[in-house]
Chain A
Amino acid sequence: MKHIEKEINSLKEEIIQMWKLVVSQLEKAKQSFINSDIETAIEIVTREKSVDAFELKIDSDCENYIALYSPVAVDLRLVLSLLKISNSLERIGDLAAGIARHVIEDECNNNSLELIENLQLEEMFDTLISMLSDGLVSLEYESTIKSEKILAKDDKIDQIYHNSIYILSEYITKDTSFTLCGLKLLLPIRKLERIGDLCSNLVEDIVFYVDAIVLKHNEHHNNN
């Protein structure tokens, strides 16, 4: 293997490690949010620093790679994509930590199972985790076969988010004492919706890297 390939592979390996960490953060966010698990929430907040450190390291390594190797073609597309991917992953890490902070700080933690079910929050988390995990596989295998499927899942996330507004509004109408907690509950749900958008961005960046096709702002993602 040539030196230049080793450098590229090491950049890719870094982003894969960061991606795995972010998947784990999101999985833990689900566990902590659904079960009001404060201990796990604290762990997520603590590990957020590692996600940030990954972003800084990858940014710096990409800058060095561009400066030293003047990449072109697939190498250039990879470096450009990695810069965007690391930024999106950091944002996802941030949002997962935000959800964890909601669990730690919020006095209305004990939401009823019925409400969680009606809001389809577990499904929302699971869909996002699968989007993120499938995206990671796409990058590892440099395959975009699943990209359309992953992108389509974002529509489901948007749908759950929009439904949640009406469901919460109904609960608040029925029980006005739930107003504050209902409004606060919308905040993490909104964060999950944003994670869906960022997962779509990740897939778009992989498609740009692998297929040299720009998907951004096409019809499918006008709602981003």
Chain B
Amino acid sequence: MIEAKNINFYYGDFHALKDISMYMKKNTVTALIGPSGCGKSTFLRLFNRMNDLIDNTRLTGECLIQGENIYNKSVHVDELRKKAGMVFQKPNPFPKSIFENVAYGLRVNNMGDKKFIEQRVEESLIAAALWDEVKDKLKKSAFEISGGQQQRLCIARALAVSPSILLMDEPASALDPISTSKIEELIHKLKEEYTIVIVTHNMQQAARISDMTGFFMMGELVEYSDTKKMFLNPQKEATQNYITGRFG
């Protein structure tokens, strides 16, 4: 489904990702863990070409989604971003109504008529486990709901354009335990339809929600394995030191 082949990525002279190869199966959750600056977010952002927006960067290797190298010239970035939705650390709703936030992607991509958009907004809010909480205030500003609800709204916004992949960069790090638990439940449910890659600093969260875990350190993929195996019996000393809190 998603594959990285011998990825090297540079910010100017800085070698941020060093020969990373990883395969992520369809309908799985893959957690990327590692200390700050290890390259996990850079790696995540490769899959919807967010790094294209940064000057003076260079990439070698291949990023494949459903067998296609997403860095081929024939690939339209807008189309790619519909396929690979992104959720960020801090909820970032647009200064619009709840409804319009979810409808935004559909409107800018000219996807369907008014009825279709209404239906898709409802479906997306249901899928993001937010519908029951906002169905009576869809016209209210997105800033009027709580941080946890805003983050689920951002997930609904990503889901509205029917992606197959969800990329999440610490989606619960700014949330309280209740909202975090809702996001985790949601991730668990969403993997039935989506392939999810999540960057997290929360070890227990990675253990709870992911099927596979990749541990990054200083731009290298130190270990990539089944999450249960990684958290019971990691094969590399560096992984063990990191996940047990002995690192550094």
Interface residues of A (CB under 8 A from B): 2, 4-5, 70-77, 212
Contact = CB atoms under 8 A, between A and B. Distances in A.
B233 A212 contact: yes
B233 A77 contact: yes
Contacts of B207: 72
A172 to B, nearest CB: 52
B204 A212 contact: no
B162 interface: no
Given A70-B204, A72-B203, A72-B207, A2 B246 contact: yes
B244 interface: yes
Interface in B206-244: 207, 231-234, 239-240, 243-244
A70 B244 CA distance: 9
Please give me the 6 A-B residue pairs with the lowest Cβ-Cβ distance, nearest first: A212-B233, A72-B231, A73-B240, A75-B244, A72-B243, A4-B245
B231 A73 contact: yes
Contacts, number: 32
Given A212-B232, A212-B233, A73 B244 contact: yes
Residues of B in contact with A, size category: 10 to 19
Interface of B: 203-204, 207, 231-234, 239-240, 243-246
Contact residues of A: prevailing secondary structure: helix
A4 B233 contact: no
A212 B234 CA distance: 10
A74 B240 CA distance: 7
Given A5-B246, A73-B239, 18 more contacts: A2-B246, A4-B246, A70-B203, A70-B204, A71-B244, A72-B207, A72-B231, A72-B232, A72-B244, A73-B231, A73-B232, A73-B240, A73-B243, A73-B244, A74-B240, A75-B244, A76-B231, A77-B233
Nearest to B242: A73
Nearest to A72: B231
A77 B232 CA distance: 7
A138 B132 CA distance: 58
22 contacts: A2-B245, A2-B246, A70-B203, A70-B204, A71-B244, A72-B231, A72-B232, A72-B243, A72-B244, A73-B231, A73-B232, A73-B233, A73-B234, A73-B239, A73-B240, A73-B244, A74-B244, A75-B244, A76-B231, A77-B232, A77-B233, A212-B233
From A70, A73, A74, A76, residue with most partner B Cβ within 10 Å: A73
A4 B245 CA distance: 8
Contact of A4 (B203, B232, B244): B244
Nearest to B239: A73
Contact of A76 (B232, B239, B245, B246): B232
